[in-house]
């Protein structure tokens, strides 16, 4: 089974969430709040219901090939397009080589029109089979070792776009890089949703 979402999809759900400190016997490690059962950033402790297509069309199995990149509430562009514009990459570490090669030019600028032309979320975020298998193997290593020294995300190379030490006096992001985010998706677009049409 391939890990179909890769880090890009997971990162969307952790965007702008607070970081909690998890204390164990070895070290104090910051973790995104998504690893905690009650984190205050969900609706009724779930992400899915607030994000589903309204009405009967929103019930059923998820097929990423049927879902278009729709904006979040109070946003104009698709959720994944917005994420990649703000992050400057296809994952939180900005080092997913496939996403960078596919969606960014040689200057590191997002190819907005290419992303907008993608038929579905599947076309935007699904890794190649080779990358998916490599990520599965990396994640299995994390699970077997039960070591989260380098975080919980499976990566194929060492994360280079991270802070080696955390300065508590430094704010996490400059104000121009902070965004209010509503996790709900705006399915009320002029064109009907592909998933609604498919059902």
Q: Which helix (H) or strand (E) holds 13?
A: helix 6-14
pLDDT at position 183 is 84
Residue 8's CB: how many other CB atoms inside 10 A? 24
Distance CA 140, CA 12 (A): 22
What is each CA distance from 19 to 30, 38, 79, 100, 136, in whole angstroms?
Answer: 6, 13, 22, 26, 25
123-182, pLDDT tens digit by residue? Answer: 999 999 999 999 999 889 888 888 777 777 888 888 888 878 888 888 778 888 888 888
Helix (H, G, I), strand (E, B) or coil at 46: strand
Distance CA 65, CA 198 (A): 10
48-95, pLDDT tens digit by residue? Answer: 777 778 888 888 888 889 889 999 989 999 999 999 999 999 988 898
pTM for this entry: 0.71
């Amino acid at each position: 089974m391939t890990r179909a979402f890769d880090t890009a999809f997971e990162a969307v759900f952790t965007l702008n969430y607070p970081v909690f400190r998890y204390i164990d016997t070895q070290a104090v490690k910051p973790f995104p709040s998504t690893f905690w059962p009650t984190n205050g950033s969900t609706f009724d402790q779930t992400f899915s219901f607030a994000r589903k297509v309204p009405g009967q069309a929103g019930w059923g199995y998820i097929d990423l090939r049927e879902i278009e990149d729709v904006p979040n509430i109070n946003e104009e562009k698709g959720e994944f397009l917005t994420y990649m514009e703000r992050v400057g990459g296809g994952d939180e570490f900005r080092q997913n080589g496939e996403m960078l090669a596919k969606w960014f030019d040689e200057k590191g600028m997002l190819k907005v029109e290419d992303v907008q032309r993608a038929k579905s979320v599947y076309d935007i975020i699904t890794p190649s089979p080779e990358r998916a298998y490599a990520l599965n193997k990396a994640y299995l290593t994390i699970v077997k070792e039960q070591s989260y020294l380098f975080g919980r995300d499976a990566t194929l190379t060492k994360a280079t776009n991270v802070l080696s030490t955390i300065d508590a006096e430094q704010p996490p992001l400059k104000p121009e890089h902070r965004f209010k985010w509503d996790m709900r998706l705006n399915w009320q677009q002029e064109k009907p949703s592909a998933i609604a049409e498919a059902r």
